[in-house]
């Protein structure tokens, strides 16, 4: 291993920053950047492959993270505090920024037993919202999240950060709405669209069988495509001035209603 990297002008640091900041480069290279010891370890535990790991010894908080760095198979590079502060976007990341190999699963890679629970997002743009939905999916044990007609890179650093690494544990597929709907029909999974018009309260809808909950953006809602191909329209009753919730909050409410129903007979 070479000595400590002390300059942000080092070619390896420049390459890392370009990969972090440019979605096109991430797609073309098949690589992405993960920041934080927790996220790094979760990626490894979920089978993601590390290519290189940049770490600052001062910020490593425990020996277990160092052990993961040594055994991950990626090339380790120690960096100075100044360089680490340049490559890390947030404090408290515990001294680790790694380059990992991307995975882009297809719909056919989604596996499930019994009645699957799928979350579908149509054209949701904000990485933070998608990341938060992935955290909900992980917590609820959902089988997959399908991002239709995506407007953001699934390995956007803000998405990874907001998901707390759930992007690694939850099967996440990007595809068109038409492809997603056809796959759901093929697998006999009912389609529930979250919308205000022509809908009934979510708790009056049976979600015990295979279910896909489809949500759109807060400003535009769902397209007519999803409204027309759904099996039922559901809504979260709003008792104040607002007529909708943030998409990640709505996803949590609807997803855990499905969990509640499925556990009600146990």
Predicted local distance difference test score (pLDDT) of residue 198: 85
pLDDT digits 0-9 by tens, 250-266 = 999 999 999 999 998 76
Res. 183 pLDDT band, cuts 50 70 90: very high
Q: Which domains does the chain have, with CATH numbers?
A: 11-101 (3.30.1330.30), 107-263 (3.40.1280.10)
Res. 206 pLDDT band, cuts 50 70 90: very high
Predicted local distance difference test score (pLDDT) of residue 197: 81
Task: Report the range of poorest mean pLDDT among 18-27, 64-73, 218-227.
Answer: 218-227
* Helix or strand run (H / E) with residue 212: strand 211-215
**pLDDT value at 1 more than 60:** no
**pLDDT value at 150 more than 70:** yes
Predicted local distance difference test score (pLDDT) of residue 35: 95
Whether 94 and 38 have beta carbons less than 8 Å apart is answered as yes
* Helix or strand run (H / E) with residue 19: helix 11-21
Residue 256 phi, psi (nearest 5): -80, -15
pLDDT digits 0-9 by tens, 231-253 = 999 999 988 887 778 999 999 99
Whether 226 and 214 have beta carbons less than 8 Å apart is answered as yes
Cα–Cα nearest to 106, from 174, 49, 168, 46: 174
Cα(47)–Cα(43) distance, integer angstroms: 6
pLDDT digits 0-9 by tens, 98-128 = 999 999 999 999 999 899 999 999 999 899 9
Whether 89 and 207 have beta carbons less than 8 Å apart is answered as no
Predicted local distance difference test score (pLDDT) of residue 220: 73
Instruction: Provide the greatest CA pair distance for the chain.
Output: 65
């Amino acid at each position: 291993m070479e000595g400590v990297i002390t300059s942000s002008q080092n070619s390896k640091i420049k390459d890392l920053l370009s990969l972090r900041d440019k979605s096109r480069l991430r797609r073309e290279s098949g690589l992405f950047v993960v920041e934080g010891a927790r996220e790094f370890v979760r990626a490894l535990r979920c089978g993601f492959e590390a290519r290189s790991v940049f770490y600052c010894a001062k910020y490593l908080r425990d020996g277990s993270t160092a052990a993961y760095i040594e055994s991950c198979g990626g090339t380790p590079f120690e960096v100075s505090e100044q360089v680490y502060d340049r490559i890390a976007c947030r404090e408290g990341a515990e001294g680790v920024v790694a380059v990992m190999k991307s995975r882009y699963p297809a719909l056919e890679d989604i596996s499930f037993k019994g009645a699957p629970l799928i979350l579908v997002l149509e054209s949701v743009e904000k990485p933070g919202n998608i990341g938060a939905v992935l955290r909900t999916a992980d917590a609820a044990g959902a089988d997959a999240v399908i991002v239709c007609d995506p407007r953001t890179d699934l390995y956007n650093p803000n998405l990874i950060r907001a998901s707390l690494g759930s992007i690694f544990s939850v099967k996440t597929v990007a595809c068109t709405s038409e492809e997603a709907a056809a796959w759901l029909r093929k697998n006999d999974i009912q389609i529930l669209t979250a919308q205000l018009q022509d809908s009934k309260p979510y708790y009056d809808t049976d979600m015990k069988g295979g279910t896909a909950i489809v949500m759109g953006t807060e400003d535009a809602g769902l397209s007519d495509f999803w409204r027309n191909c759904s099996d039922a329209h559901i809504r979260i009753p709003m008792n104040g001035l607002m007529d909708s919730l943030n998409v990640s909050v709505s996803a949590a409410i609807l997803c855990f209603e499905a969990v509640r129903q499925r556990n009600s007979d146990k």
